[in-house]
A = this chain, B = another copy of it.
Amino acid sequence: MTNAPVADVLAGKHPVASTVQVQGWVRTKRDSKAGLSFIALHDGSCFDPVQVVALNSLANYEDILRLTTGCSVRATGVVKQSEGAGQALEIEATNLEVVGWVENPDTYPMAAKRHSIEYLREHAHLRPRTNIIGAVTRVRNCLSQAIHRFFHEQGYCWISTPILTASDTEGAGEMFRVSTLDMMNIPTTDEGKVDYSQDFFGKETFLTVSGQLNVETYCTAMSKVYTFGPTFRAENSNTSRHLAEFWMIEPEVAFADLSTIAQLAEDLLKYVFKAVLTERADDMAFFQQRVNKDVISRMQSVVDSDFVRMDYSEAIEILQKSGKRFEFPVEWGVDLSSEHERYIAEEHVGAPVIMQNYPKDIKAFYMRINDDEKTVAAMDVLAPGIGEIIGGSQREERLDVFDRRLAEMKLSAEDYAWYRDLRKYGTVPHAGFGLGFERLVAYVTGVQNVRDVIPFPRTPGNANY
């Protein structure tokens, strides 16, 4: 008897009257006075549990009466049309083996009742057993598979950019130091500084904040590449949108300008949303019912929309003429805040917006200067209901312009020697963007806090498990 995933049984892959074996955990159990028990058994393969009916004629029915939420069981039985509401098929057990009991059911942390999301977070090792985290896990997996598939079908190579880097050239936020030095015995140089030459890598070394600069080296050889890996920020941010460790997707395309990657971003989001709507309808129905009633319609609306391209300068005019009072004042040159982005995407346009050509002074050194010399070829994708979900740019590929910009920003050309080489040797226009994976999962599921869409969230004061 081979094992049948619950998803296959519920999908009718095993005909009525055939015998199957299912294995999993008791979600709930109900004992009927008529001398039979109904066990809702889940195995993680889909949202719904399968109902296993156990008659008191089973030899170990006394054991079955003692089953509680979380016990593991192996059931063999016959597939039947279900007479109960809510499911089409059930299994009438011919054998039901208890594999693992729950020690002291009264104190089982995942007992069958509503737990707050914060409580679940405190029990991160057990929370995958709940409806909500199980659903998040399947949707997260569906998104990651769809992302890899999208890029693979389009001829992109996945590149694993390094996590550890001695390159101090990012300048993008606070970094974590990685070391094997004895903290009670830090070696110092003659000048009284830390002597990192004695550290594992012979240099001060950090966790990466982005794979972009590294992946550009592969872009300028393989043409179409992307990263999908963890990145780190040592920011003391205790918000629902920040993690110290999160996953990022960063495609980079050669012979491409801003419009190429704006289209790529639109195509990618539509592709992965379609995958979730098709493949995880069960989990999405749950999120719609319990978490956010708009969660399916807003994804469907992104799939059906043409994303609107809009210049930053135009957005400033629209905001100024809106007659709205914003918390942060609007004038050309300021960075847009969430209230501005959401006004544009939700109220003014009513569809996803790709905002383009931002003032250079609020953007990074590597972005390509436009002919107006005031703006850079940067873009943000703003989605109704969340705001910025993707940020990208065309990269400055002209060595002379790049060097001028480095000087302007008081950065040293020497620190960027290898990055400059990409511009010295067969330079090409190229562009890319970054998509924070947890923000994507949060948007798709409607789950408010990114801590609940990653298995073990890392935040200030917490790296448990």
Taking beta carbons and an 8 Å cutoff, which residues of A are in contact with B?
3, 5, 7, 23-26, 43-45, 70-72, 74, 99-103, 108-110, 124-126, 128-129, 134, 137-138, 140-141, 144-145, 148, 152, 155, 157-167, 174, 176-181, 183-184, 186, 188, 193-194, 200-203, 205, 207, 214, 217-218, 220-224, 229-230, 232, 234, 236, 244-245, 247, 254-255, 397, 399, 418-419, 421-429, 454-456, 458, 460-465
Contact = CB atoms under 8 A, between A and B. Distances in A.
Contacts of A125: 217, 418-419, 421-422
B134 A201 contact: no
Give the residue among A7, A174, A245, A399 with the most B Cβ atoms within 10 A: A245
Contacts of A201: 244, 458, 460-463
A221 to B, nearest CB: 4
Nearest to A183: B194
Contact of A45 (B184, B188, B223): B223
A455 B161 contact: yes
A163 B166 contact: no
Number of copies: 2
B45 A155 contact: yes
A158 B25 CA distance: 20
A159 B245 contact: no
A140 B152 CA distance: 12
A68 to B, nearest CB: 9
A432 to B, nearest CB: 15
B160 A254 contact: no
Give the residue among A129, A157, A245, A461 with the most B Cβ atoms within 10 A: A157
A202 B456 contact: no
